[in-house]
Amino acid sequence: CIYCLDDCADKGAAKIGRACTVNPFSGLENEFKIRPATKAKKICIIGGGPAGMQAALILLSRGHNVELFEKSLKLGGQFKLADLPPFKSEVAEANRFLIHQIKQCGVKVNLGYQVTADDIQHDRPDVLVLATGSKPVKPKIPGIDREFVYSARDFLGNNVQVGNEVLIIGGGSLSGEVADILAGDHNVTIVEKLDSILSDMKSLIRQELLERLKNKGIAILTSSTVAEIGVDSVKIKNDDGKIVEIKTDNVIYAVGNRSDSNLKAATKDMPEVFIIGDALRPSNLGNALRNAVKTAIVI
């Protein structure tokens, strides 16, 4: 349990069926039946995030010959970043458990390998599973390509050092978590176009983070957008059209993700191709794992 209160508490309260973020079979035991494959196939999985690992485990258990490729040197995908905020340390245990299962079951894993279109055409597996995840959406704002501007994912994944004044574009859960990490040592401002922040979080967890951001003195500008990123300041436009300019050393943006479809074109003549997890549709951990199982049991 990672104490997310997502699929268990929220769905249970809404009377739409209980589930579990880290156990994709919970509540779906009658639907997700694992049966031996009628024919063992050579299966290549590209992407070692939660969906890729979960699919590999199911496919191997059904008797398939599975090989997994991950471009980084560690398994986990975005899972590796999820436990960095102060209140999410339990997430690391879910990632550790999946990785432990992969190591124990004998799936052939290739780390630090960036699969190319040529690799796909040369290897020609019977089945190709794309679990390549997603990429951050870069907002179209003048100055967004300045050297002191980072996506939240780059900031978290590369241990980026930032200055004292930090502005965060976007008011979703990831923005709130980044602000939570930076607060105390930095002056942080969140700019959100909607009239409230953290609207994508579940109520109990959201309230806890809101209180923490308030207590840490995070400045929150709602109903506002970033109009321009200058050399050492940012122009912000509110819903009345008024422009204010504030000093900033670094800008971090978190305005959503889009599926990574770089390899999709290379698979058009492959006999069986399946796209899972965030590569299919950016969502949350629970949906990624359930989607992986749903796909793996029918291959």
Cβ atoms of residues 69 and 113 within 8 Å: yes
Q: What domains lie within the chain, and their CATH numbers?
A: 6-135+257-296 (3.40.50.720), 138-253 (3.50.50.60)
Average pLDDT over the chain reads 93
Q: What is the mean pLDDT of residues 1-7?
A: 81
Calpha distance 14→109 (Å, rounded): 40
| 11 has pLDDT over 80 | no
Total residue length of the chain? 299
Give the mean pLDDT of 141-160. 96
pLDDT digits (tens, 9 = 90+) for 246-268: 999 999 999 999 999 888 888 88
Least Cα distance to 24 among 276, 201, 257 occurs for 276
Q: Is 121 helix (H, G, I), strand (E, B) or coil?
A: helix
Per cent of the chain over pLDDT 90 is: 77
Question: Once rounded to an integer, what is the mean pLDDT over residues 281-292?
Answer: 94
Q: How many C-beta atoms surround the C-beta of residue 30 within 10 A?
A: 6
Confidence label for 146 from pLDDT (cuts 50, 70 and 90): very high
User: Rounded to whole angstroms, how far apart are CA atoms 202 and 258?
Assistant: 22
Collapsing DSSP to helix, strand or coil, 17 comes out as coil
pLDDT at 1: 86
Query: In this structure, what token pair is assigned to residue 30?
Result: 């009658």
Widest CA span in the chain: 65
Categorize the per-residue pLDDT at 84 as very low, low, confident or very high, splitting at 50, 70 and 90: confident
Mean pLDDT of 33-56: 97
> What percentage of the chain reaches a pLDDT higher than 70?
97
DSSP state for residue 241 in the 8-state scheme: S
Q: What's the pLDDT score for residue 174?
A: 96
Q: C-alpha angle with apex 274: 269 to 278, nearest 5 degrees?
A: 125
**pLDDT at residue 130, rounded to an integer:** 97
The model carries a pTM of: 0.91
pLDDT at 202: 83
- pLDDT at position 153 over 90: yes
